[in-house]
Amino acid sequence: MKHVDVLVRGAGIVGQSPALSLGRLGLQVGLRPDDPRPGGTPDVRAYALNAASVALLKSLKVWDALPADAATPVYDMHVCGDAHGSAIDFSAWEQRAGELAWIVDAPVLERELGNAVRFSPHVHVLDAAQAESIRADLTALCEGKASAGRAALGVRFERHDYGHSAIAARLVASAPHQGTARQWFRSPDVLALLPFDSPQPQHSYALVWSLPRERCAELMALDEAAFAAALMAATEGAAGDLQLASPRAEWPLAIAQASAWCGPGWVLLGDAAHLVHPLAGQGLNLGRPTWPR
Ligand SMILES: Cc1cc2nc3c(=O)[nH]c(=O)nc-3n(C[C@H](O)[C@H](O)[C@H](O)COP(=O)(O)OP(=O)(O)OC[C@H]3O[C@@H](n4cnc5c(N)ncnc54)[C@H](O)[C@@H]3O)c2cc1C
């Protein structure tokens, strides 16, 4: 193959979704994944997806392929502020929606998108040599925040450091979550417990905890029991006894935006174009399907 309509570089969730969507329109798409890296820790990412993202995944026939414990509906959200008992509550019932959001297992979603790519007659997975030699009318750079393709185009990535890192992990809780997401927006930390059904249905959470770097390093250095105790103190026991069910992963947090999002023959998508704080739950949700289905 010497020519494709669109070459997509990067096969994360953002890369695979438009590759499949464009393939469904009958365009010839080349998809260049990153080379696999040996080792690494288990992927504990879980994302809150809104109705538009779920609708896109449904249209790609990927949503219904997810195992039941990989997508958990959120029916209620309880958000606590700083002192003085400030809080906001939302419910799907009040919003007249089936659910407020879905908490989705990111590695399982990437795997199911990969399965859909394998069955797509118009999406061609390319190795490095093929990707270098192929001609494309449009190259979509979906390489994430450290996109080398963006740098090669000379596009600046204007970055503001929050001075925070996020800890992500899977937890099990003594009390059932009942579809309630809990968030604490306060100074200096921001913490989210997102209801999840794996490893234990109704008794699991995905944790995202944003903290000043030094405090984050201290918490990462604690053993599991001491970390669980710190988590209990931070959540005031609101979700019952919490225990780690996975290793902890850490991300430095920044807000960033590319100085240009598109130019002749290229476009930046996803984190290659913009990076936002994970507690907003918007990184993926900022993408919107606007093409005909
Ligand atoms: C802790 C945490 C929680 C989050 N929670 C949410 C949430 O609740 N809701 C939400 O919407 N968003 C959330 N986000 C944001 C979300 O993770 C990102 O917006 C999303 O992963 C971006 O996807 P992406 O495909 O653009 O980038 P990535 O997921 O980084 O994927 C980029 C891919 O490109 C590959 N790649 C890199 N360089 C090359 C190259 N040169 N050639 C080929 N491939 C390459 C990489 O290996 C990778 O597979 C969260 C982020 C974090 C850190």
Q: How far apart are CA 20 and CA 72, in angstroms?
A: 24
- Overall average pLDDT of the 216-228 stretch: 98
pLDDT per position as a tens digit, 73-120: 999 999 988 767 789 999 999 999 999 999 999 999 999 999 999 999
In terms of DSSP H, where are the helices of the chain?
13-24, 51-59, 92-95, 106-118, 128-133, 148-152, 213-221, 224-235
Q: Are 110 and 144 in contact (CB under 8 A)?
A: no
| Cα–ligand 1 centroid distance for 270 (angstroms) | 7
Name the token pair of 10. Answer: 């990067």
Is 30 close to ligand 1, i.e. is its CB under 6 Å away?
Answer: no
- Overall average pLDDT of the 261-288 stretch: 87
Name the token pair of 73. Answer: 């509906």
* pLDDT confidence of residue 35: 83
- pLDDT tops 80 at residue 289: no
- Overall average pLDDT of the 30-45 stretch: 85
User: For the chain, what is the mean pLDDT?
Assistant: 93
Residue 286 has φ and ψ, to the nearest 5°, of -65, -25
| Cα–ligand 1 centroid distance for 49 (angstroms) | 14
From 45, 165, 246, give the residue whose CB has the most ligand 1 atoms within 8 Å, as the site to mutate: 45
| Beta pairing class for 71-74 and 46-49 | unpaired
Q: How far apart are CA 26 and CA 272, in angstroms?
A: 26
Q: Are 137 and 5 in contact (CB under 8 A)?
A: yes
Q: Which of 271, 1, 287, 8 is nearest to 139 (CA)?
A: 8
* pLDDT confidence of residue 119: 95
pTM of the model: 0.93
* pLDDT confidence of residue 274: 92
Q: Are 8 and 111 in contact (CB under 8 A)?
A: no
Q: Which atom of ligand 1 is nearest to the CA of 149?
A: 41
Is 18 close to ligand 1, i.e. is its CB under 6 Å away?
Answer: no
Is 168 close to ligand 1, i.e. is its CB under 6 Å away?
Answer: yes
- Overall average pLDDT of the 232-240 stretch: 93
| Beta pairing class for 71-74 and 101-105 | antiparallel
* pLDDT confidence of residue 288: 62
Give the sign of the dihedral formed by CA 156, CA 166, CA 208, CA 234. Answer: negative
Is 32 close to ligand 1, i.e. is its CB under 6 Å away?
Answer: yes
| Beta pairing class for 204-212 and 266-268 | unpaired
Reported as a pLDDT band with limits 50, 70 and 90, residue 293 is: very low
* pLDDT confidence of residue 241: 96
In angstroms, the Cα distances linking 60 to 23, 119, 125, 292 are: 10, 12, 17, 13
From 100, 209, 284, give the residue whose CB has the most ligand 1 atoms within 8 Å, as the site to mutate: 284
